[in-house]
Amino acid sequence: MAGRLQRAFNAMTHKLERRKPAPTTNPVNPAQRLADLYRGSFDFVDATTNKKHQLAVSADLAIAIDGKQLPGKIVGITTDALTFLDHFGYELIISCKDGFPVTIYDEAEDQTYTIIYPELNPDKQD
């Protein structure tokens, strides 16, 4: 009797030992992956004033220009564009190409600004 119990016990523990735990993957939320396309700080120049500005998009998609947060809300987001509606009802649209933000359209000013990537500027001399 003891032999049968021992064999049954060994068989059960052997099966448990062979069982591999499920891989612990942390799948990225698709909405977060989309938001990550736009997260960061982006420089642009206003051609009218020739002044450089910085637009920042936080992880929770809050928008700030030159360090001042804009009141409003995100009304659309795709791989091609993020659309922000400010509290006056004007849209700010950040457009992406090949996974990188490339332009900012400001409906209030009816202007499109090209995002500057200094590290990609071949004219820059160190």
pLDDT digits (tens, 9 = 90+) for 112-123: 999 998 766 555
Rg from Cα positions in the chain: 26
Write out pLDDT tens, residues 16-66: 455 555 555 666 788 888 889 999 999 999 999 999 999 999 999 999 999
DSSP string, 97-114: ETTEEEEEEETTTTEEEE
d(CA 104, CA 42): 9
Instruction: State the residue range of the domain holding 83.
Output: 31-118
pLDDT value for 22: 58
Domain count, the chain: 1
Asked if residue 124 belongs to a domain, the reply is no
Asked if residue 50 belongs to a domain, the reply is yes
Element (H, E) at 91: strand 91-97
Asked if residue 126 belongs to a domain, the reply is no
pLDDT value for 89: 97
Q: Is the pLDDT of residue 97 over 70?
A: yes
> If you ran DSSP here, which 8-state letter would residue 80 be given?
S
Both tokens assigned to 116: 């500057």
Reference 63, options 34, 45, 42; nearest CA is: 42
pLDDT value for 117: 87
pLDDT value for 126: 45
Asked if residue 87 belongs to a domain, the reply is yes
Q: Is the pLDDT of residue 96 over 80?
A: yes
